[in-house]
Amino acid sequence: MSLYGMLRTSVSGMTAQSNLLGTVSDNIANAGTAGYKRADTQFSSLLLETGGTEYQSGSVNTDVRYAISQQGALNYTSSSTDLAVQGSGFFLVTDPSGQTQLTRAGSFQVDASTGNLVNSAGLTLMGYDVSAGDPNVVLNGTAGLVPINLQNTKLAATPSTEGTFAANLPSNAAVAAAPTAGANVAGASFSEKSSLVAYDNLGNAVTLDLYLTKTAASPDTWQLAVYDRAGAPATGAFPYASGPLSTQTLSFDATGKLASGNSISLAVPNGATLTLDLAGMSQLAAPYTPFTASVNGNAPSAISDFSIAKDGTVYATDANGRKSAIYRIPLGTVQSADRLEPLTGNAYTTTLESGAIQIGFPNEGGVGTLLSGATEQSNVDMASELTRMIVAQRDYTANSKVFQTGTELLDVLMNLKR
């Protein structure tokens, strides 16, 4: 073994321990950083070809690895935009240049200048816009992703398209005299009346008057006539300014169940076609009793709150308490998460060793579950890091002693001539 080889080997040992101390210092510094994944330095020997009578010392190689796939503990917060993943998935984010990255750092807040959700590293959370329906998801790419924006979101007016009306009609009601409500003439008679509110294309409320008239007995038959309240006369009686929007004949069997006329369709003024489900109507020996009266659609309203469900759906709640889905947050996975390349800001990018991104939604396909009001803590174990630091310090000192011994032997060799 040459003295110079001894020096080179000890230097490589000190360099290796320095690398180890570097990862330990990073881990300790980021022990409180949300989403941080612990770094580790692994050692491997490099041997030189050795003859039978002389040993050639080699050196130590280091390989830095990251425990990216290791789950950190959860820290629960009071902010609904703080997000955590339980499972193998990553949030899809973009940096200021537009590059897509992966991260587990989910401390998102609304950026004052853009309204986008960004985390503490300034990375923007990406998702799919579902306000107009289900998105077109590309499983192995990021096409279609848009920034999750909670500042410029406004609920558009939704026209009414469907609803449900169910009531009990009194079986002992008398047959109404002609002309009935469906004729829209002065003095028209009817048995019962109710009203529903629907919405047109602009979100204006349209009140619909529903007239129920018993027109025959044995079999019991009723007529449903729907009018636009805007055309009602000042006296509140007939005739309306125009005829009924729609009429439907309801027939009941001997047990009081609806035999025909399960639905009615009508065109809402300045709106869409509204279909009312009437399957719950009955005719029994009891007073007129409405059971269900609901119509979809809504008027424009200011957003009062946001919430994020476990399946990644972002809901906007308006001032009237109605919830509407506006975005859905996907999660990205790779085949080997520990082979991802770390970037500044607790983010990662794919490599050949990690595999390409596969996109899915929380609670589907094993990508994990999304939790709102929580962040993932660092997976650093402080006790283990301090122990590794002490061991690395001792090993560095030992290697320095070898180097010191080698220099002393070189001094002895150089002084032989004197």
CA-CA distance, 198 to 229, in Å (whole number)?
11
DSSP secondary structure code for residue 77 in this structure? -
275 token code pair: 């279909």
**What pLDDT is recorded for position 11?**
84
Average pLDDT score over residue span 320-326: 81
Average pLDDT score over residue span 326-355: 93
CA-CA distance, 226 to 50, in Å (whole number)?
100
Number of domains in the chain: 3
**What pLDDT is recorded for position 93?**
96
Most confidently modeled range among 41-50, 139-148, 173-182: 173-182
**What pLDDT is recorded for position 7?**
82
Question: Are residues 139 and 166 located together in one domain of the fold?
Answer: no
Question: Are residues 167 and 287 located together in one domain of the fold?
Answer: yes
**What pLDDT is recorded for position 249?**
96
Residue 58 lies in a domain: yes
Question: Are residues 287 and 321 located together in one domain of the fold?
Answer: no
Give tens-digit pLDDT for 258-271.
999 999 999 999 99
Residue 13 lies in a domain: yes
CA-CA distance, 118 to 103, in Å (whole number)?
12
**What pLDDT is recorded for position 8?**
83
Question: Are residues 286 and 332 located together in one domain of the fold?
Answer: no
Q: Looking at residue 247, which CATH number applies to its domain?
A: 2.60.98.20
CA-CA distance, 310 to 83, in Å (whole number)?
10
Is residue 331 within 8 A of residue 320, CB to CB? The reply is no
Is residue 374 within 8 A of residue 83, CB to CB? The reply is yes
Give helix 382-414 / helix 3-29 axis angle, nearest 10°. 160
pLDDT above 70 coverage of the chain, percent: 96
Q: Which one of 295, 316, 335 terminates a domain?
A: 295
**What pLDDT is recorded for position 85?**
94
Reported confidence tier of residue 414, pLDDT bands at 50, 70, 90: confident
Average pLDDT score over residue span 340-367: 91
What's the mean per-residue pLDDT of the chain?
90
Give tens-digit pLDDT for 195-245.
999 999 988 999 999 999 999 998 899 999 999 999 999 888 899 999 999
Question: Are residues 116 and 172 located together in one domain of the fold?
Answer: no
Which tops the pLDDT comparison, 276 or 44? 276
**Residue 231: helix, strand or coil by DSSP?**
helix
Residue 72 lies in a domain: no
**Residue 167 in this model has a pLDDT that exceeds 80:** yes
Average pLDDT score over residue span 138-146: 87
Residue type, 237: A
Q: Comparing C-alpha atoms, which of 353, 347, 367, 377 is closest to residue 94?
A: 347
Strands (E), 14-115: 39-46, 59-66, 74-76, 83-86, 90-94, 100-103, 109-110
Residue 75 lies in a domain: no
Lowest mean pLDDT among 112-116, 256-260, 412-416: 412-416
Reported confidence tier of residue 30, pLDDT bands at 50, 70, 90: very high
208 token code pair: 């619909």
Average pLDDT score over residue span 176-204: 93
Question: Are residues 238 and 270 located together in one domain of the fold?
Answer: yes
Lowest mean pLDDT among 29-43, 140-154, 243-257, 373-387: 140-154
Q: Which one of 261, 295, 329 terminates a domain?
A: 295
Question: For the stretch 44-78, what's the b/e string if a residue is b when 16 or more beta carbons lie within 10 angstroms of its beta carbon?
Answer: eeeeeeeeeeeeebbbbebeeebbbeebbeeeeee
Residue 286 lies in a domain: yes
**What pLDDT is recorded for position 297?**
87
**What pLDDT is recorded for position 53?**
66
Question: Are residues 141 and 167 located together in one domain of the fold?
Answer: no
Average pLDDT score over residue span 322-347: 91
Residue 405 lies in a domain: yes
Most confidently modeled range among 62-66, 249-253, 319-323: 249-253
Q: Which one of 295, 323, 346 terminates a domain?
A: 295
Question: Are residues 273 and 309 located together in one domain of the fold?
Answer: no
CA-CA distance, 243 to 174, in Å (whole number)?
25
Average pLDDT score over residue span 55-74: 86
Question: Are residues 52 and 112 located together in one domain of the fold?
Answer: no
Task: Tell me the three-class secondary structure of 152-172, residue by residue.
Answer: CCCECCECCCEEEEEEEEECC
**Residue 50 in this model has a pLDDT that exceeds 80:** no
**What pLDDT is recorded for position 155?**
66
Give tens-digit pLDDT for 146-157.
999 988 776 667
pLDDT above 90 coverage of the chain, percent: 66
Question: Are residues 179 and 285 located together in one domain of the fold?
Answer: yes
Is residue 266 within 8 A of residue 242, CB to CB? The reply is no
Range of the domain at 97: 83-155+302-364
Is residue 180 within 8 A of residue 215, CB to CB? The reply is yes
**What pLDDT is recorded for position 195?**
95
